[in-house]
Amino acid sequence: MSKAERLFELVTLLRGKRTAVTALELAQTLHVSERTIYRDIAALAESGVPLEGEAGVGYRLAPHTHLPPLMFDPEEAIAIAVGLRLVRAATDPELGAAAERAERRIRAVLTDAIKQRLDRLPYRIAVLERNADLRDRHARVRRAADDRAKLAIAYVDEEGRPSERVVWPLALMGWGDRWTVLAWCESRKAYRNFRLDRIGKMERLDERFETSETLSIGHYFRTELGIDDIA
């Protein structure tokens, strides 16, 4: 990539981090030498980008830094547009409305040529009214997971056996054509995945839960799946 592209990517990386990032980490991500990173950091500082940090410690953008809007290449813009349309179709109405607003904002900074490509996209992702109840359930689980609120649910497994559980909703996991709720089940004292479309009655409880190193999304992926995480 050109120096201008590399500087843009460097700012993007720093912008996405809350803590300082070492030159070595930046060099490995951008596939350049640490010396190149030091030169690029100096160039950004000279151009007025408010950076904090020093060699051997790490760098970050100064808090409350406001930078110009991001620009996207055509493939990036298409990927974002398709992703936002999937959010509108496959998640809940609140997130869907946010995705629609985000798409309008992104289109506002795109070039006319990229907008024309977006208008010609072959993707058509329908938002179906018959999924309204499922989408409402999705929203309730998402909010409970965000607030660390326990849920009391009525569930029917694949054999048709009903049960009632108190669960700690940790994540909503998408599997292409369906969603499952990754949760800690109090009655089983173990992680369980519940298909969203098999959850019936759902009640949000006043009781909260706390995650830990041995009870969390990351712990589930490491111990149950043998991986660090999935997108």
What confidence tens digit (pLDDT) does each residue in 96-136 have? 999 988 888 888 777 788 888 888 988 888 877 777 889 99
* pLDDT of amino acid 193: 96
List strand residue ranges (DSSP E) for the chain, in order. 51-54, 58-61, 149-156, 162-174, 179-185, 190-195, 199-208
pLDDT of 146 reads 96
Q: Report whether pLDDT(71) > 70.
A: no
Give the pLDDT score at 231: 62
Provide the β-strand partners of residue 212: 215
Average pLDDT over the chain, rounded to an integer: 88
3-state class (DSSP) for residue 86: helix
For residue 16, pLDDT over 60 is answered with: yes
Mean per-residue pLDDT, 153-181: 94
The pTM score is 0.69
Which of the four pLDDT bands, split at 50, 70 and 90, describes residue 194? very high
pLDDT of 69 > 70? The answer is: no
Give the confidence band of 215 by pLDDT, cuts at 50, 70, 90: very high
Tally Cβ neighbours within 10 Å of residue 39. 13
Residue 195: its pLDDT value, please?
96
SS3 content of the chain, % helix, strand, coil (to 5): 45, 25, 30
Give yes or no for residue 67 having a pLDDT over 60.
no
179 pLDDT above the threshold of 90: yes
Q: Which residue has the tokens 């990173």?
A: 37
* Max avg pLDDT among 44-53, 65-74, 123-132, 168-177: 168-177
Between CA 161 and CA 85, with CA 149 as vertex, the angle to 5 degrees is 80
More confident residue, 77 or 182: 182
